[in-house]
Structure 1
Amino acid sequence: QVADRCAAAVFRLDTYETEAYRDEGLVTGEASGFFITEDGLAVTNYHSIADAVSATATLSTGDVYEVERVIYYDPDIDIAVIRVSRTALRGHDTSAFATLDIADSGTGDLRAGDTVYAIGNPLGLGLAVSSGIVSATQRDVERYALPCVMSTADISEGSSGGALLNVYGQVVAITSGAYVYGNSMYLAVPIDPILTADLTGEGLTLPEVLEAETVG
């Protein structure tokens, strides 16, 4: 039921490090993302877009849409909110995207042992769902400024930016990585910063984000 209800709101994120690669159709990065508003605001990991000058979102229907702007991003907590065009590059234009609900308390109500579901685009093979339990709700990890949720819900390369859902199908975290030498030790960054972020601004283009972070 979680998969049926949520899959339409999750997409494959293809990124391109140069316009030449984009023109040639040479994808340089594959990740995941999910919509949080019908007009095209979507969440992913910052590291998924960090080196990109262009990106596209491919839905489960096969329809492809361009990433227009980055509305919010924070490299330290590895979160980005992007705006996706409703005009299709391939397939059908849309008036409204399917969306996922964010848990009102973010990770606040999560407890070790809770069942969670990860949904994303592992290995670029298409949308997949896995289930597991929360191992820890606030695991300090060196690369992240905020404690991560650790769970046993399987993710793989390409799952970065996907959604970690509670049993109600609400987003509690963003799937981001794993302990390489561990077993079933998968990490997700908390969705909480999105609850208070200002998502009303015009944002930046992907090249502008790349330039700002390179200069910085």
Structure 2
Amino acid sequence: QSPAPDFRKVAERVGPAVILVSVFDEPGKLLTTKTGFFVAEDGKFVTNWHAIVGAAHAVAKSADGKIRNVTGVLTSSVELDLAVLRAETKTGVPFLQLSKASELQTGAFGAVIGSPLARRPQPLLTATISARRSDPRGDQLETSNPISNDAEGAPVVDENGEVLGIVTPKHEQGATGTVVRSASSLDSLLAQIKPNTKAHWAAAKTEARSLSGSPSYAG
């Protein structure tokens, strides 16, 4: 197998689009801070669904020092543990392109890129894709080496800086490594957003109520 590419320069290019998302409940209590990344210039970004359960407000913090108000959820999938939200922007934001590679070969390299605000060496991890699986919910990739929980919501990119997938906390049955939801799953989710789709927090609040008395993803 060929040696892994040097992803440090890729991380420098990708880093400005990777954000920290701080999520608050109705009274203003901080619920969690997770990683996410912009996928469109107008402020659309992706993170894990479980990170926003119970949310009434959130802010997105980027490496340029800006703190942007998050207006709410545009679309989400509990099954995929993915959510697309919108952050307010007047001038646009740096964003990542999703990989269009239809057949990602096992053994391909990818890098997990965290937010520069986390002050950790980047990339967080260079991993090889050990398996690709499909189920009714979409494609998922599996990495040969485990990815730490603090990377949930981070993009996995190729050597061109395009998104191969997003780190999720779910270890699927039969998987031997960390599961990464693929770019095709993200693309399908983004396709659900129409020009007149309004961002809102109602879905996150409703899900929190339905989970009361059972283990919550928020935290």
TM-score, normalisation: structure 1? 0.78
For 1:117, which of 92, 111, 114 is the aligned residue? 111
Q: Which runs of 5+ in 2 are unaligned?
A: 1-8, 212-219
Counterpart secondary structure, 1:120: coil
The amino acid across from 2:133 in the alignment is Q
Classify 1:185/1:193 alpha carbon distance in 2 versus 1 (closer, same or farther; 3 Å): closer
Distance 1:164 1:65 in 2: 23
**Equivalent residue, structure 1, for 2:67:** 64
**Equivalent residue, structure 1, for 2:15:** 7
**Equivalent residue, structure 1, for 2:200:** 205
The amino acid across from 1:104 in the alignment is K
Q: Which runs of 5+ in 1 are unaligned?
A: 22-26, 87-93
Cα-Cα RMSD: 2.9
1:215 positional shift: 5.6
Q: Does 1:195 align with 2:187?
A: yes
Q: Does 1:103 align with 2:99?
A: yes
| Percent pairwise identity | 22
- Give the 5 Å matches for 1:1-216: 1-21=9-29, 27-86=30-89, 95-105=91-101, 108-121=102-115, 125-126=118-119, 128-129=122-123, 130-138=125-133, 145-152=137-144, 155-177=147-169, 179=171, 185-196=177-188, 197-199=191-193, 200-206=195-201, 208-213=202-207, 214=209
1:52 positional shift: 1.6
Classify 1:30/1:154 alpha carbon distance in 2 versus 1 (closer, same or farther; 3 Å): farther
The amino acid across from 1:110 in the alignment is L
Counterpart secondary structure, 2:14: helix
CA offsets 1:88-127 (integer angstroms, 9 cap, x no match): xxxxxx512111111124xx321111000111259x8346
8 Å Cα contact 1:178-1:185 kept in structure 2: no
Distance 1:203 1:76 in 2: 22
Classify 1:14/1:158 alpha carbon distance in 2 versus 1 (closer, same or farther; 3 Å): farther
Distance 2:86 2:182 in 1: 20
Distance 1:119 1:154 in 2: 15
1:62 positional shift: 2.4
Counterpart secondary structure, 2:164: strand
Counterpart secondary structure, 1:103: coil
Distance 1:51 1:135 in 2: 35
The amino acid across from 1:125 in the alignment is A
CA offsets 1:151-179 (integer angstroms, 9 cap, x no match): 14663233221111122211121111265
Distance 2:57 2:38 in 1: 18
Greater strand percent: which structure? 1
Aligned length: 196
Larger mean CA deviation between 153-162 and 1-10 belongs to: 153-162
**Equivalent residue, structure 1, for 2:4:** none
Distance 1:201 1:48 in 2: 25
